[in-house]
Amino acid sequence: MSDDRIAVTESGTRARTRRAILDAAVSLLSTDQSASLADVAAAAGVGRTTVHRYFPERSALLTAIGADVLDSVAVATERARLEDGPALKALERLCQEFFELGDRLMLIFDMPQFRNWSGWEEETPADKALLRLIRRGQAEGTLDPEPDAYWIQNVLWALLYTAWEQARDYETPRHTALTLCLHTLRKAVAP
């Protein structure tokens, strides 16, 4: 096997291990915010030293989770094709894409350590794309022109949080929670 092939295999293995640790951390911290790195290692099926190689401290793991969530939001925003069709339909697609990120986003919203995380300080390209979509919808008449675009953005996040909470805490089927979220969104932002 060539050196290039070995490097690709190693980086693929590293990426899978890192992903397994991040996924296990999100799953575990969603139910136990005080979970240790050793707990995360056990949940990921790797040794504690392996977790420490990737994330020397808990703060490094939390920073990585935050960055991963921002990346996931960016990918979801792209998949929603915000420039295609009427703005309300694009907003519904975005809501559906974001809904799939529920566990990750709920952790970010619920865990106090993320409230002051520096990664939230700047408006991301995904934020800007959402605000452009809202303004486009208001200009074309498919979204209520009365509220500020930031208000509609916050309403979207509040509805998503409510849908995730409904599914998690009240055992409402996920598809029902999403349907209710979309129904309420249409009522809240349509002219």
Q: Tell whether the model's pLDDT for residue 6 goes beyond 50.
A: no
Q: What is the pLDDT of residues 28-44, one digit of tens each?
A: 999 999 999 999 999 99
pLDDT of amino acid 166: 97
Distance CA 81, CA 67 (A): 22
pLDDT digits over 103-158, tens only?
A: 999 999 999 988 778 777 789 999 999 999 999 999 999 999 999 999 999 999 99
Distance between CA atoms of residues 37 and 92, nearest Å? 37
Please, is 53 exposed, middle or buried when counting C-beta atoms within 10 Å of its C-beta (0-12, 13-18, 19+)?
middle
What is d(CA 87, CA 68) in angstroms, rounded to the nearest whole number? 27
The mean pLDDT value of the chain amounts to 93
- For residue 106, the tally of other CB atoms under 10 A from its CB is 18
As a whole number, mean pLDDT of residues 75-88 equals: 98
pLDDT of residue 60: 95
Average pLDDT over residues 36-56: 96
Best CA proximity match to 62, nearest among 183, 82, 73, 70: 70
Residues 20-34, mean pLDDT to the nearest whole number = 95
